[in-house]
A and B are shown apart, each in its own frame.
Chain A
Amino acid sequence: MTGLRKRVTVGFLSIVCLLFFSGMISLIELGHLSRDTGEILKANARNIELAKEMLDAAHEQNVALIRLSVFGDRSRDSLCRASMDRLENTLLVAQNEALDKSFLDSLAFATTELRIVTDNYLAFGDLRSRSDSLAADSLAGRPDSLGIRWYNEEYDALYGRLTAAIKNYMTSTQSSLAPRAEQMKKNAYRAVTPVLISVAVMIAIVLMLLYFLSIYCVSPIERMNKSLGDWLAFRIPFNVKGDLKDEVLELKERIETLINQSKQPKA
């Protein structure tokens, strides 16, 4: 490559490219980091939302079943079934969205158990409701002793297991936080290292540029200036040594020509 302007331009353009390059790298990597962080927070919020929905559905069903089994309130039948459906649908959504499905296994098992027990009770309740004694108890507002026994012995334990599974699911994102944080740390390292290396390369290039400008531009001009000053002041011959090239060499040759011309006697 020839020409001082071209060389200096290419030199500076290299630095600009590198600056742009490292800027782009940090932008992309920080984008990845931000996306990962956002995903963790979003997953956490969604997890809590779904767990709340499931707890609400379970609680609603629990209240309906108490009314039904203890007081024989048959009007709660449909609410009970609807709550169970709501619980199952939310579980299905959670299963579809979850990255790690292992946390949902116990919850799915508890829900299935509860569904079987509830369905059996509701079917059995239909048969019992046709009996005269239960209808009389219901009308008199007396508690159903058989229903209470069923609730205490069969349903309550399953309900407890279900709510525990939901709470476990709710805290599952906290449990997976450590590997995610580790991943984020790795991503942060990957974001920083290329930029650091680019900066190191850039420093090396800037130092080289400084050195080349110094030996090819600044020093020759300083030498020429000194030599020209010596010639003008003391008539010491103009003699600039060193590796000169491009316009600097041209300048030196022109100065020499000018000096030679001025030495010749005027006509």
Chain B
Amino acid sequence: MRVEVVLRYVGVVMLFMALFMLISAGISYVSGVDSAFYPLLLSSLLTALLGAFPLIFVGRCEQITNKEGFCIVVGAWLVACVVSMFPYLIWGGEFTLVNAWFESVSGLTTTGSTILNDVEGLPRGLQFWRFSTTWIGGMGVVMFALVILPSMGRSKMMLSNVELSSMARDNYRYRSQIIVQILLVVYVGLTVLSTVLLKMAGMNWFDALCHAMSACATSGFSTKNASVAYFNSPAIDTILIFTMVAAGIHFGLIYATVTGKRNNIFRSEVTRWYLGMLFVGGLLIAVSLYAADLYPTLSASFRHGMFQFVSVVTTTGFATADSNTWTPFAVIILIFGSIVCACAGSTAGGIKVNRMVLAGKMMRTRLKLQQHPNAVIRIRLDGIIQDNEVLHAVMIYIVAYLMFLLLGTVVGALLGIDLTTSFTGSVASMGNVGPGFGEVGSMDNWSAMPSAFKMTNTLLMLLGRLEIFGLIQIFLIKWWR
């Protein structure tokens, strides 16, 4: 493996990070040179130097091997998490080393959990930097690098192997360079559209942009301490529900639908399951809340129930209410939503609807095979027969996912954290959702959690974002053949 090639392309990603730091510094300057200007400018210079250095020595590379591509992706994620700590650390305030790492990983993995007690106390420049990390993370740091790496020829696809689930790649049915363009068009288009709609609904431009970036990245960072509940506007809630639902759908399908192609949202089996789950889950929560007299009307129950369910299923994590006070039935549905999450090929994390649908079909097939032992039954998804290898991988992934959830819960319990907090905290981190229940509820933050628990959860966030095996394999790279 050529380490220098890995360093070069990780360096390019660093240059992107430096650019966004510079933009944040610009916002800080426009806001009257607030206290974040100097930390952002300094961080931008240091990151740019770090990123540009390998480019001095290493030239363009025509071919990248599978192993190198993998190392570029994982390396870029890890180094991006480190450098995005710089502005937080230099600014100080509530950001200790552990807190800065947590905020940085939470942003880049689009988890959206925060350690900040007073989000509104942050200067604008630093606020914007938080949203930039989440926006960059949502798209995938490496997807950015792909756009400006014209010299990689046939090896482009190697970089997305880790970033996108294998099913998502199959479904795209486009060449890798077009995938990047599709992702960018959908992502930027959705962000712009959402910003304009939120502005029209009553937010100021800054809040509208930040919330749109957060919703498109399915992150859940907010500029307000009370999250979206601060605005208390049905119009804003509706726009954000629309954005979150769209961000949870396979981006290739959105593009196909908009451009009038045949394989669109309406023909996708996975999307139908996803939308059906959102509607049924939201409705069940609404009925539960109304029956428990938590809200005066059914429409208010539906509004909050639907928003919160969409928010956790799409792994966004915005909140319009404190779901800690909701009924146990509503809570268990929300936890279920936090584990299943949205579709592959979107910016969402979690197990993903695709895998759950396949797992359900495999169970049905198992039952049929017990009745008809000699039958040959093929499992199809969207009309395509799925290989045994894919089905095998799905089951392994689900088992590994649940094992890591258990591990996270055990670590939390060992540190003396109550079971609800440690389990739902692990679910929220592993699925890149953000809010859990107990002490890490939708209206709480992670500041009071022990440092060891924060660090464990950042590991879960990275595992979830890199589809578990992506991160594990970096430690086994020496044995790759």
Q: Which of A152-203 contact B (CB under 8 A)?
A: 186, 189-190, 193-194, 197-198, 201
Give Cα A22 to B46, complex, Å.
10
Q: Is A48 an interface residue (CB 8 A)?
A: no
Give Cα A145 to B314, complex, Å.
91
Say whether B54 contacts A208, CB under 8 Å: yes
Interface 0/1 of B85-101, CB less than 8 Å to A: 01001101000000000
Say whether A193 contacts B90, CB under 8 Å: yes
Q: Most chain-A CB neighbours within 10 Å: which of B4, B49, B86?
A: B49
Q: Is A212 an interface residue (CB 8 A)?
A: yes
Q: Is A121 an interface residue (CB 8 A)?
A: no
Say whether A193 contacts B49, CB under 8 Å: no
**Minimal beta-carbon separation of B235 from chain A (angstroms):** 41
Say whether B86 contacts A197, CB under 8 Å: yes
Cβ-defined partner of B92 (8 Å) among A17, A186, A201: A186
Give Cα A198 to B39, complex, Å.
12
Say whether B53 contacts A14, CB under 8 Å: yes
Give Cα A25 to B2, complex, Å.
36
Q: Is A103 an interface residue (CB 8 A)?
A: no
Say whether A201 contacts B50, CB under 8 Å: yes
By a CB distance below 8 angstroms, the chain A residues around B7 are: 208
Q: Is A236 an interface residue (CB 8 A)?
A: no
Give Cα A10 to B55, complex, Å.
11
Give Cα A190 to B39, complex, Å.
9
Say whether A7 contacts B56, CB under 8 Å: yes
Question: With A25-B42, A201-B49, A201-B50 known to touch, is A10 a contact of B4 (CB < 8 Å)?
Answer: no
Q: Is B3 an interface residue (CB 8 A)?
A: yes
Say whether A211 contacts B3, CB under 8 Å: yes
Say whether A7 contacts B50, CB under 8 Å: no
Interface 0/1 of A201-219, CB less than 8 Å to B: 1001100110110011000
Question: With A7-B56, A194-B90, A205-B53 known to touch, is A21 a contact of B4 (CB < 8 Å)?
Answer: no
Say whether B3 contacts A201, CB under 8 Å: no
Give Cα A193 to B45, complex, Å.
15
Say whether B92 contacts A190, CB under 8 Å: yes
Cβ-defined partner of A215 (8 Å) among B4, B49, B90, B92: B4
**Minimal beta-carbon separation of A202 from chain B (angstroms):** 9
Say whether B46 contacts A197, CB under 8 Å: yes
Give Cα A205 to B48, complex, Å.
12
Question: With A189-B92, A208-B7, A211-B4 known to touch, is A201 a contact of B56 (CB < 8 Å)?
Answer: no
**Minimal beta-carbon separation of A2 from chain B (angstroms):** 9
Q: Is A18 an interface residue (CB 8 A)?
A: yes
By a CB distance below 8 angstroms, the chain B residues around A11 are: 53, 56-57
Give Cα A135 to B90, complex, Å.
77
Main secondary structure of the interface of A (DSSP, over half): helix
Give Cα A243 to B3, complex, Å.
13
| A17, closest chain B residue (CB) | B49
Give Cα A13 to B53, complex, Å.
11
| A18, closest chain B residue (CB) | B49
| A196, closest chain B residue (CB) | B89
Say whether B42 contacts A1, CB under 8 Å: no
Give Cα A194 to B2, complex, Å.
32
By a CB distance below 8 angstroms, the chain A residues around B86 are: 197
| A205, closest chain B residue (CB) | B53
By a CB distance below 8 angstroms, the chain B residues around A204 are: 50
**Minimal beta-carbon separation of A4 from chain B (angstroms):** 10
**Minimal beta-carbon separation of B8 from chain A (angstroms):** 10
Say whether A193 contacts B46, CB under 8 Å: no
* Interface residues on chain B, size class: 20 to 34
Q: Which of A233-256 contact B (CB under 8 A)?
A: 243, 245
Interface 0/1 of A105-148, CB less than 8 Å to B: 00000000000000000000000000000000000000000000
Cβ-defined partner of A208 (8 Å) among B42, B53, B90, B92: B53
Q: Which of B62-89 contact A (CB under 8 A)?
A: 86, 89
Question: With A190-B90, A211-B3 known to touch, is A1 a contact of B56 (CB < 8 Å)?
Answer: yes
| A189, closest chain B residue (CB) | B92
Give Cα A68 to B45, complex, Å.
74
**Minimal beta-carbon separation of A189 from chain B (angstroms):** 5
**Minimal beta-carbon separation of A201 from chain B (angstroms):** 5
Say whether A194 contacts B42, CB under 8 Å: yes
Q: Most chain-A CB neighbours within 10 Å: which of B3, B42, B46?
A: B46
Interface 0/1 of B4-31, CB less than 8 Å to A: 1001000000000000000000000000
Say whether B42 contacts A212, CB under 8 Å: no
| B100, closest chain A residue (CB) | A193
Say whether A212 contacts B4, CB under 8 Å: yes
Give Cα A189 to B92, complex, Å.
8
Give Cα A212 to B4, complex, Å.
8
Give Cα A240 to B344, complex, Å.
48
| B5, closest chain A residue (CB) | A243
| A245, closest chain B residue (CB) | B59
By a CB distance below 8 angstroms, the chain A residues around B56 are: 1, 7, 10-11, 14
By a CB distance below 8 angstroms, the chain A residues around B53 are: 11, 14, 205, 208-209
Say whether A216 contacts B57, CB under 8 Å: yes
By a CB distance below 8 angstroms, the chain B residues around A193 are: 89-90, 92
Interface 0/1 of A1-41, CB less than 8 Å to B: 10000010011001001100100010000000000000000
Give Cα A20 to B11, complex, Å.
22
Interface 0/1 of B452-474, CB less than 8 Å to A: 00000000000000000000000
Cβ-defined partner of B90 (8 Å) among A197, A209, A243: A197
By a CB distance below 8 angstroms, the chain B residues around A190 are: 90, 92
Give Cα A95 to B52, complex, Å.
55
Give Cα A186 to B95, complex, Å.
12
**Minimal beta-carbon separation of A86 from chain B (angstroms):** 43
By a CB distance below 8 angstroms, the chain B residues around A209 are: 53
**Minimal beta-carbon separation of B104 from chain A (angstroms):** 13
By a CB distance below 8 angstroms, the chain A residues around B59 are: 245
* Contact sample, A vs B, 26 pairs, CB 8 Å cutoff: A1-B56, A7-B56, A11-B53, A11-B57, A14-B53, A17-B49, A25-B42, A186-B92, A190-B90, A190-B92, A193-B90, A194-B39, A194-B42, A197-B86, A197-B89, A201-B46, A201-B49, A204-B50, A205-B49, A205-B53, A209-B53, A211-B3, A212-B54, A212-B57, A212-B58, A215-B4
10 closest A-B pairs (Cβ-Cβ)?
A212-B57, A201-B46, A10-B56, A194-B90, A193-B90, A193-B89, A205-B53, A201-B50, A189-B92, A1-B56
Q: A11-B53, A197-B43 are in contact. List 10 more A-B contacts (CB 8 A).
A: A11-B57, A14-B53, A193-B90, A194-B42, A197-B89, A198-B46, A205-B50, A208-B53, A211-B3, A212-B58
